[in-house]
């Protein structure tokens, strides 16, 4: 029959008590007082010196043998204890080496592990229950919380970071019950948040290691329990003197807080209640910081992560998502220049530029949309990367082709939109990326769709833009016309068949297509804006005569100049069409 469990436990406790009293207590007493006992016995026997009893003739050495037995027994016992201590010390070093190797610690970490063993041994000598619940993780946390010097704090922070990456936290969470609501967790998180602040007396490197630790623990943070969470993390983002790595860790922490599987919805609600969160995130790709910095690549990485976080938060569901989208629109409007700077920079990572494109592509809200359109115009005109400029061109073409109201939106979004596009049109350097004809097409659609007698202000601005653009456009028409006429005359004079030189005349064909785009633009200008305004027509005719004079040609009216240029374009175009048909039959 089995004994009750209580009886078994009582018997086990009795055995442990007997072992403690009969074995461990004498050993401890011998270990602690062995030197004193040996010293006292030796002093006593030196004074007495009764090793031999001369009166006992049968065995004069009978007192010597007991004395030697006691002496050698004490020496043997003490030697055994010291051998045990040496063996234990060897095992301790092996255990320290194992821990150091497991967590991949450096020499500084080894010293902290040794300090942990030493402190634990001293504590257990005073109280055997001292080691209960004491782990390397809690030791590192206590050391960080109590550190006063930057060096000791930094060592403890590195130590804790290595432990977290070694899996100590995971094991601790599995072993500890009610971790999510435990005082130890709250104490740790409050201490870490406090150490993130720019007022941290331990320096920037210590803040960075603290940020790394917070990032590793971010999925365990429930932000509503920590009212000071945002000022602490914000300090990583807003300090202009901060190193780019601090800003990067700040963005990464926010991303993980919003993506953790446990508290992500609660954390997004807490973020939506923080009115300046997205504006601070969008301030990190500030062109004043990184486009003039030697750490441009690192700041470009920060910009990429910031834009990803913005998009991620704006896609949140529910009421929190609505708040975050509203804040995101405000952040886009306030930092449109920063997004532009990423896209027009020839050093920024293409990944960061693609993230910026996604932000500008379809932002919700009228104000954010206007900022996005203004940025696209700047990108189309100024970006260094041909891929980015072509993207800006496609977005503008798509925008203006989907709705007539978008033409007015372009003019409202950027005050000098018409002038900017005109500069793209007349700049010969844009031939390489084939942007001039699209610029002419966009300008033509602006003239066609933006004409609204009801919107006097817009119409007045557009007519002023036309007056400014006409000299540049007519000058380019006259230049192309003269170039094409001269090329045709040379062919006729030298008796060359145009078909024989067709493969070498691709540039002339491109000029012909561009001339056609310019003529189409001028025709729309005349029909939609100039013809019905006598004063404007007079100004345009004067500009036309002046342009002819500058090209050493007789002065002509706007209509006459366009008519002559169309005849040239038709003639040259017919020649190219004949060539193409001839080559297709070959």
What interhelical angle do 386-402 and 350-361 show, nearest 10?
A: 10
What token pair was written down for 280? 């601070």
Beta strand extents in 192-292 (DSSP E only): none
**Do residues 551 and 478 make contact, with C-beta atoms less than 8 angstroms apart?**
yes
Report whether 446 contacts 493 (CB < 8 A).
no
* Segment 91-95 mean pLDDT: 72
- What SS3 class is residue 275? coil
Q: How many CB atoms lie within 10 A of CB 402?
A: 9
- Asked if residue 155 lies in contact with residue 108, where contact means CB atoms within 8 angstroms, the answer is yes
Per DSSP, the residues of 302-367 read: HHHHHHHHHHHHHT--HHHHHHHHHHHHHHHHHTHHHHHHHHH-SSS-HHHHHHHHHHHHS-SSHH
**How is the chain split into domains, by residue range?**
24-103, 476-585
401-436: pLDDT as tens digits: 776 667 778 888 888 889 999 999 988 888 766 889
Closest CA to 472 of 436, 434, 496, 513: 436
Share of the chain above pLDDT 70, in %: 70
508 token code pair: 């002339």
Q: What would the two tokens of residue 277 be?
A: 């969160």
Spatial contact of 412 and 431, defined as CB atoms under 8 Å apart: no
Q: What is the DSSP letter of 177?
A: T
Distance of CA 398 to the CA centre of its chain: 30
pLDDT digits (tens, 9 = 90+) for 345-356: 878 888 888 888
Residue 3 backbone dihedrals phi, psi, to 5 degrees: -75, 150
Can you say how many angstroms the Cα of residue 150 is from the centroid of all Cα atoms in its chain? 27
Other C-beta atoms lying within 10 Å of the C-beta of residue 227: 10
Structure tokens of 355?
């993230």
pLDDT classification of 102: cutoffs 50, 70, 90: confident
Instruction: Report whether pLDDT(252) > 90.
Output: yes
What is the token pair recorded at 547?
């342009």
**Which has the higher per-residue pLDDT, 9 or 440?**
440
Lowest mean pLDDT among 518-522, 553-557, 572-576: 572-576
356 with 307: CB under 8 angstroms? yes
Split at pLDDT 50, 70, 90, the class of 510 is confident
Round to whole Å and give the CA distance between 259 and 240.
27
Which pLDDT band, with edges at 50, 70 and 90, does 229 fall under? very high
Cα separations (Å) of 164 from 144, 157, 252, 559? 14, 11, 17, 78
DSSP 242: S
**pLDDT digits 0-9 by tens, 29-65:** 766 676 667 667 666 766 666 666 656 666 666 666 6
The DSSP code sequence of 14-38 is HHHHHHIIIIIHHHHHHHHHHHHHH
Q: What length is written for the chain?
A: 586
Going by C-alpha positions, the residue among 289, 308, 309 that lies closest to residue 299 is: 289
More confident of the two residues 188 and 15? 188
Q: Provide the 8-state DSSP code for 57.
A: S
Tell me the DSSP string of 518-575.
Answer: HHHHHHHHIIIIITT-HHHHHHHHHHHHHHHHHTTS----HHHHHHHHHHHHHHHHHH
Q: Are 156 and 147 in contact (CB under 8 A)?
A: yes
Take residue 428 and report the two structure tokens written for it.
């010969």
pLDDT digits (tens, 9 = 90+) for 516-531: 899 999 998 988 888 8
- Can you give the pLDDT at residue 584? 35
């Amino acid at each position: 029959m089995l004994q009750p469990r209580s009886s078994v436990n009582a018997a086990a406790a009795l055995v442990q008590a007997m072992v403690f009293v009969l074995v461990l207590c004498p050993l401890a007493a011998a270990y602690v007082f062995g030197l004193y006992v040996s010293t006292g016995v030796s002093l006593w026997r030196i004074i007495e010196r009764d090793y031999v009893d001369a009166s006992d003739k049968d065995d004069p050495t009978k007192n010597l043998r007991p004395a030697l037995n006691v002496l050698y027994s004490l020496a043997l016992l003490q030697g055994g204890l010291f051998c045990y201590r040496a063996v234990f010390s060897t095992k301790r070093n092996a255990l320290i080496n194992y821990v150091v190797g497991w967590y991949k610690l450096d020499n500084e970490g080894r010293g902290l592990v040794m300090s942990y063993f030493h402190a634990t041994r001293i504590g257990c000598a005073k109280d055997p229950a001292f080691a209960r619940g004491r782990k390397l993780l809690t030791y590192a946390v206590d050391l960080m919380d109590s550190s006063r010097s930057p060096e000791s704090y930094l060592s403890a922070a590195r130590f804790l970071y290595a432990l977290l990456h070694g899996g100590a936290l995971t094991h601790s969470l599995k072993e500890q019950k009610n971790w999510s609501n435990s005082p130890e967790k709250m104490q740790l998180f409050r201490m870490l948040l406090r150490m993130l602040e720019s007022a941290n007396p331990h320096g920037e490197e210590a803040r960075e290691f603290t940020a790394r630790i917070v990032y590793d623990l971010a999925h365990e943070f429930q932000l509503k329990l920590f009212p000071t969470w945002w000022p602490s993390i914000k300090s990583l983002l807003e300090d202009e003197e901060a190193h780019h790595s601090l800003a990067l860790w700040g963005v990464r922490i926010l991303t993980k807080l919003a993506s953790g599987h446990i508290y992500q919805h609660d954390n997004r609600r807490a973020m939506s209640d923080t009115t300046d969160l997205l504006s601070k995130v969008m301030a990190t790709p500030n062109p004043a910081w990184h486009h003039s910095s030697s750490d441009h690549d690192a700041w470009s990485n920060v910009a990429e992560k910031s834009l990803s976080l913005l998009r991620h938060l704006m896609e949140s569901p529910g009421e929190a998502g609505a708040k975050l989208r509203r804040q995101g629109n405000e952040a886009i409007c306030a930092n449109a220049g920063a997004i532009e700077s990423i896209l027009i920079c020839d050093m920024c990572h293409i990944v960061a530029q693609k993230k910026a494109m996604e932000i500008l592509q379809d932002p919700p809200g009228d104000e954010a949309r206007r900022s996005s359109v203004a940025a696209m115009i700047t990108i189309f005109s100024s970006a260094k990367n041909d891929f980015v400029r072509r993207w800006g061109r496609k977005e503008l073409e798509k925008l203006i082709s989907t709705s007539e109201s978008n033409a007015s939106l372009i003019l409202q979004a950027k005050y000098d939109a018409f002038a900017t596009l005109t500069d793209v049109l007349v700049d010969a350097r844009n031939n390489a990326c084939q942007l001039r004809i699209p610029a002419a097409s966009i300008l033509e659609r602006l003239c066609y769709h933006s004409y609204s007698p009801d919107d006097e202000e817009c119409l007045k601005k557009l007519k002023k833009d036309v007056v400014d653009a006409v000299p540049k456009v007519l000058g380019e028409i006259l230049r192309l016309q003269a170039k094409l006429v001269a090329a045709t005359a040379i062919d006729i004079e030298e008796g060359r068949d145009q078909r024989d030189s067709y493969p070498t005349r691709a540039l002339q064909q491109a000029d012909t297509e561009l001339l056609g785009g310019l003529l189409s633009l001028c025709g729309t200008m005349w029909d939609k804006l100039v013809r019905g305004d006598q004063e404007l027509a007079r100004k345009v005719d004067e500009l036309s005569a002046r342009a002819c004079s500058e090209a050493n040609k007789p002065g002509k009216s706007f209509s006459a100049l366009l008519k002559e240029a169309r005849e040239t374009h038709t003639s040259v175009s017919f020649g190219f069409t004949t060539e193409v048909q001839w080559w297709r039959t070959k």
